[in-house]
Structure 1
């Protein structure tokens, strides 16, 4: 009897901690389904599970929800790898831990879950008097100006305009991520000013240096990306373009700047072609998921329970497939980026 009471008390004690992002919770790996097989814990890292549950409560749009799920799966993989590395004593300076914390903060900010109103739009000093119009779709005056020029240039087919729009959207996302990292650096600098302990100061100095390095890399990528968009908007797509998808083009440009042999470049080009097919397939599933969600909302308004159930099953199946494909695509991109980086990207321009 005493043992039963103790177990009940312990269960309630654990349940009371569920709302906190604590170190103890992060060490839990509750990935087992319940008896009915439906209430499966999505992630083995508790703080990621809590983010996912919050996203469901927030009713994020289906495509954003699928994207978040993929990002959390990547974060989970990296967190679990880091725990192994830490256990082996291979992260003495805390560099990987700081990077993980940074990527987690980026996820929270990216999906509006960091408790801040998103005002991190990149400002341009020479365009302060820019006034928003209906043509402003990328939250940045320089991008909007290029986009509007491209639309009226007559140089692009409907398919090319679709590809160009994806490039612009990709660049907009990169600007937003840059601002998120810049925001976290500013906050770290404020904390750093208040440090008293010399040892603690050395650790935070190292973390701050890593963040500044990240910012420098991201700013370089932004400048190169904008220059590419400027060139595309003025000259159009060349007939001998190797790839169409922005992320694949970015990887190919990165590979051409790396110290790769001709054979290695040819091999990578083939791999990137397969990756581009994966990206295009994922984009198609995202579009289908959005359409399925709209249809489900329409059917729910009609009130036919059997019809609702059938559409809900189709929607849930499509959502699961989109999440799975999104994770595989992002994991593949992460692997490709690491592979190219290991071969020595030319950093002289930094």
Structure 2
């Protein structure tokens, strides 16, 4: 029983990591509560294909369209896996095959009503094709490209920014290497490893749990640092005053909608108040992870440690997550409604 609980708990932590590493960048859904299904429930082997499939299901496409999409994604999934194997074997040095695979997925998204997502994919491809790609992390390339073109940084400031972005990339690389060392280099294999563990590996499981929690803390630190860089590279006319990217994007959308000045002021005050609640929610989550880490470290060393503290924190985090989700949905719907009435 202990073994089963450890395995199940470990799988949930792994999935949390994978949702970030995959670098999907939906408009407002960066929080863990919006993470995709567990890898064991995936329809496809490629993470991006699963993300497209899940979005299509939320869009309410007809059964016939969903069936056609599944067939298209299945064929694309095979090509993506062949490219992945080719890349591991040292092939595709110029990235042409990768670009072809990504263009195909963008075309699939466009065919099934995901034009914005397709445009985002193609924009990144175009940016990389012009030699603008300086970092492996797609998000860092987007920040660098934006900062390079907006004209508000001097040459010296751009160099300082490049070094900051590179430092962040180094930390991302280190994080991914630690992930690979612990769970394997393929998305599915990271979870399959848990299924192959013997029942006599209880001690190894304790060590793995500690290392996973340490990685989860590193992940939150990386995410916080990225948000700081995102705020730093915003163009002057996009200085919304919001540090949280989701709220920043919502506010930029609100400015393009038909709110009155008084309504905008009221909305901004609401969103500012909510941003403080969101920061509190993130703080509770981090405190819960650290408390759980302390518990498992004590357990690993044979010390008795009461789990009730971190369990109560995790429960608080779940409760605040529901509140956060409710408010995000409310803001999104209100802004979207005003944009629709504009048309």
**Pair in the same fold by TM > 0.5:** no
Larger radius of gyration: 1
If the TM-score is normalised by the length of the shorter chain, which range does it land in? Answer: 0.3 to 0.5
The alignment's TM-score, normalised by the length of structure 2, stands at: 0.40
Higher helix share: 2
